[in-house]
Structure 1
């Protein structure tokens, strides 16, 4: 996905379903209990937890993303948490770690998994590692033998370049060596991520880069404030998060999660929301990129002529193509929704419930 800002840390985004051990996996990776697991029977945890620690010679940032497979909630809290994850990832992601549990998978579970992953661009898998939890369930099997019995899971691991590890957040805690030691497995996982980053770089996209520009602009506004650089950045990230939450209020949680994971249609839609101050013609071009040249204009205005489309959309925005008030924001949201309805978004992530 191109180069990203060079930072002396590993930024890891943990994805997965409720009940598969995302929080516990984050604790195992960082070597201490910093994430709070939620019982699988409880409601979806609408929290993007971010924890940092230095381990094995690297500063590790673990971001537990809410709701990758559980997008039935569409409230402001959930959106706020996903946007927090987007802002945290502005400098690029070293690895997406998809957490799955060892065990039997129903055909419905496999179908949901495949449907979710089909929304991702192929190059996302160049930055993805599969981490299986509940390793004790393997019994005398190796993880390779377990995968051979499930062709769909094997296919997923193959898509990720064969990068696959297994831990047991409960039973392998105290083992110090061997394959049934979390310490050994986490060290292997971090080595895999380091090799992956060396080969493929870190994951970034136009949306991440735009958010990073906004963060730098916020830092610039602080001028000579006598604050450490890290504290300035944290304050800037909070400001940017609040701005994006307002600008992208019309986006669904599914679209926001798709943007976090690099789904093309979702990235384009969120970029459109963030460019509300652009001239209307620029906004039309963004929408057209989603549904094909001309399609967005026709979907929004009912006409195919570019000049006429711009005039009609300008009228919706209050009579001028550069108005940045509330009416302009509404016009942008309508254009994006029309583009998505026309079939260009391709980011409908379903719940596994």
Structure 2
């Protein structure tokens, strides 16, 4: 049975739940029953410039959130009466889909804080996806990461809400657009096949917001009136954040250790190069000294035989002398003269 309104008293709600058999199946420790809820609570999440604030304004029927083009930097709660019931909408900052490590810690914290603004918990999570551009695998991964951040049960409370700037899609119906995109279809499947669209220029006589609220009523009825508990989301988010901090600290320690090892290896390499350079200079000095000694001996031998070294023919040098030896002899003669 579809519960079309949320302003019932507790007795009426419990009677309806008993008819559907949900009263005996409900688990108070895991979810908040509808009997304590006085209105519909919705939280909007999505990437930057997806149109979340515009969706909130459309649902509440007035401009209660920032205008288009103004970046939302923190979770904002607004309330209003829609179709004779109280509706609460929470807008949240959008994430950047392109960084490899996902959304910043500040954005994640604001989304979790947005859930806490819906005490005791939101009935619905509207995952806002713009259809202005092609939907990539990376965008799907980012969307799934942020729904997962709210806990495993969050998918049972999530509806994909497509935003279309114009009055209609150019080349296909909404159903065809979803079916032809593997990434869009995969995201919708994670939400149990639930999706809807709001257009920038709605068709005359077509109330897309009323249809959206009806789909949310259906989802709440299917969930037996259970909510996405803010307490559970906060506890799980706290655990994940602590785990992320521990992992980040471990990665930092590993990077510091790798850097230390690289620095030590560079110092060892520099020392080896310096030692090789010193050894090379010593070998060159030894070779030069040897050449000079050979040159002096050769000069002395020529003097003993009465032959002037200046008239010596280099080509008639003893076979054990090299051209380097002869240059050393020449240099020695220049010094003696």
Q: TM-score, normalised by structure 2?
A: 0.55
Mark the CA change 1:92 to 1:69 in structure 2 (over 3 Å): closer, same or farther. Answer: farther
> Which of 128, 134, 154 lines up with 2:185 in the alignment?
154
Query: Which structure 2 residues correspond to residues 125-164 of structure 1 after superposition, within 5 A?
Result: 125-134=155-164, 136=166, 137-139=168-170, 141-164=172-195
For residues 189 and 196 of structure 1, the distance between their equivalents in structure 2, rounded to whole angstroms, comes to 11
Query: Structure 1 residue aligned with 2:73, among 28, 46, 53?
Result: 46
Q: 2:47 aligned to 17, 39, 44, which one?
A: 17
Match of 1:338 among 246, 253, 262: 246
User: What is the deviation of 1:117?
Assistant: 4.5
Q: In the aligned structure 1, how far is the partner of 2:250 from the partner of 2:151?
A: 20
Q: Tell whether the 8 Å contact from 2:140 to 2:183 is kept in structure 1 after alignment.
A: yes
Residue 123 of structure 2 corresponds to residue 99 of structure 1: no
What SS does structure 2 have at the residue aligned with 1:104?
coil
Q: Which has the larger radius of gyration?
A: 2
| Equivalent residue number for residue 56 of structure 1 | 83
CA spacing shift, 1:269–1:73, aligned 2, 3 Å: closer
Per-residue deviation, residues 212-241 of structure 1 (Å, max 9, x unmatched): xxxxxxxxxxxxxxxxxxxxxxxxxxxxxx
Task: State the distance in 1 between where 2:119 and 2:248 align.
Answer: 25
Distance 1:118 1:69 in 2: 16
Mapping of residues 142-221 of structure 1, within 5 Å? 142-168=173-199, 170-172=200-202, 175-177=203-205, 181=206, 184-200=207-223, 201-205=225-229, 208-209=230-231
The question of whether the paired residues in 1 share the 8 Å contact of 2:48 and 2:93 is answered with no
Note closer, same or farther for the CA distance 1:156–1:84 as it changes in structure 2 (3 Å cut). closer
SS of structure 2 residue aligned to 1:338: helix
2:176 aligns to what SS in structure 1? helix
Q: Partner of 1:52: helix, strand, or coil?
A: strand
Is residue 10–residue 60 contact of structure 1 (8 Å, CA) maintained in 2?
Answer: yes
Deviation at 1:108, TM superposition (A): 3.7
Cα pair 1:69 1:116 within 8 Å, conserved:
no
C-alpha distance 339-90 of structure 1, shift in aligned 2 (>3 A): farther
1:33 CA displacement: 1.4
- Structure 1 residues 64, 45: closer, same or farther in 2, change over 3 A? same
Give the whole-Å Cα distance in 1 for the aligned partners of 2:159 and 2:122.
12
Summarize deviations over 1:264-289 as a string: whole Å, max 9, x none. Answer: 4x24357xxxxxxxxxxxxxxxx8xx
Distance in 2 (alpha carbons) for counterparts of 1:88 and 1:108: 29
- Mapped to 2, the partners of 1:88 and 1:111 lie a distance apart of 26
Q: Aligned-pair distance for 1:192?
A: 1.0
* Inter-partner Cα distance in structure 2 for 1:144 and 1:112: 23
SS in 1 for 2:186: helix
Cα distance in 1 for partners of 2:109, 2:171 equals 43
Task: Indicate conservation of the 8 Å contact 1:9/1:58, yes or no.
Answer: yes
The separation in 2 between residues aligned to 1:83 and 1:119, in whole angstroms, is 8
Cα deviation for residue 49 of structure 1 reads 1.8
Q: TM-score, normalised by structure 1?
A: 0.52
* Alpha-carbon separation, structure 2, partners of 1:82 and 1:107: 22
Cα drift, residue 209 of structure 1 = 3.5
| Structure 1: 4+ residue segments shifted above 6 A | none
| Cα offsets for 1:272-309 (capped at 9, x unmatched) | xxxxxxxxxxxxxxx8xx6xxxxxxxxxxxxxxxxxxx
Name the residue aligned to 2:12: none
Question: Contact 2:31–2:228 (CA<8 Å) still a contact in 1?
Answer: yes
Give per-residue Cα distances to partners, 1:319-338, cap 9 Å, x unaligned: xxxxxxxxxxxxxxxxx843
Taking a change above 3 Å as real, the CA distance of residues 17 and 187 of structure 1, as seen in their structure-2 partners, is same
> How many residues get paired?
214
CA RMSD for the aligned pairs?
Answer: 3.2
